[in-house]
Amino acid sequence: MVNPGEIHDGIPLQGPRGWHMIYINPEVVAQELRDLSKVDDFVMRPVVSDQELRFHMRNLFTEINTICPDRTAVEEAFLLCLMRVTHYHIFSKQQGKTYSPAIALAKQYLDDSPEEKVTLSMLSSLCGVSRFQLIRGFSRETGVTPHAYLVQSRVRLARRLLLEGKKITDTALVAGFADQSHLTRAFQKQFGITPGHYVASAK
């Protein structure tokens, strides 16, 4: 997502901001990322500051919005964005990535039981560290806090349940969300579309 109203020829502009956004079928992105990163699952930072990625995204928008878009140019620009994301902004289950015993245990628990109610006290006790050590170590080694990681794990579980044909309301509760609106906000933040649109696009 880029903000063309913020900078023009390197000069900050005043006035209202405008946004360009593109929504891509999350399964397409997931498959391409798996091909690029050689992992079965991944977690991406939801917001990043990356000048080179911004350049590639601007180029993607330019290619898409030409009068007669070149399919190859669009595809290449899209893949260059994903390559940048894969190399710098994926921080879970990367090949060769190792974690300290306490953080590895915490991640494993959150991956295996994302639907369970969990507190920092319980998780830190399970891992044999203090809450401060857990938050500091988890953030340093994974790039996100335990709670943010838990929410992302729940969203991934919800995605699997939706693909299995479960209703959105049932999925929200089974995946550990308070209600459907809570799931919708988290799902949209992670995948860029609502659960309803995701189900429709997967049919």
pLDDT attached to residue 96:
52
Tokens representing 120 are: 């920092």
Label residue 93 left, alpha or beta by phi (over 0 means left) and psi (-120 to 50 means alpha).
left
Label residue 143 left, alpha or beta by phi (over 0 means left) and psi (-120 to 50 means alpha).
left
Residue 55 sits at φ, ψ, to 5 deg, of -60, -45
Cα 135 to chain centroid, rounded: 20
| Cα–Cα distance, 164 to 159 (Å, whole number) | 9
Q: Which residue ranges of the chain lie beneath pLDDT 70?
A: 1-20, 24-47, 88-97, 203
Residue 154 sits at φ, ψ, to 5 deg, of -65, -40
Among the listed residues 94, 145, 155, 143, the one whose alpha carbon sits nearest the alpha carbon of residue 124: 145
Q: In this structure, which amino acid lies at residue 88?
A: Y
Label residue 122 left, alpha or beta by phi (over 0 means left) and psi (-120 to 50 means alpha).
alpha
Tokens representing 190 are: 């992670």
Return residue ranges of the chain for CATH 1.10.10.60. Answer: 101-202
Residues contacting 41, CB < 8 A, separation 6+: 92, 93, 156
CATH class for the domain made up of 101-202:
mainly alpha
Tokens representing 75 are: 């595809």
| Inter-residue contact 168 to 196 (CB < 8 Å) | yes
Q: In this structure, which amino acid lies at residue 119?
A: T
| Cα–Cα distance, 145 to 142 (Å, whole number) | 8
pLDDT attached to residue 71:
84
pLDDT attached to residue 95:
47
Tokens representing 115 are: 């639907």
- Return the residue matching tokens 């806090």: 145
- Return the residue matching tokens 């901001």: 17
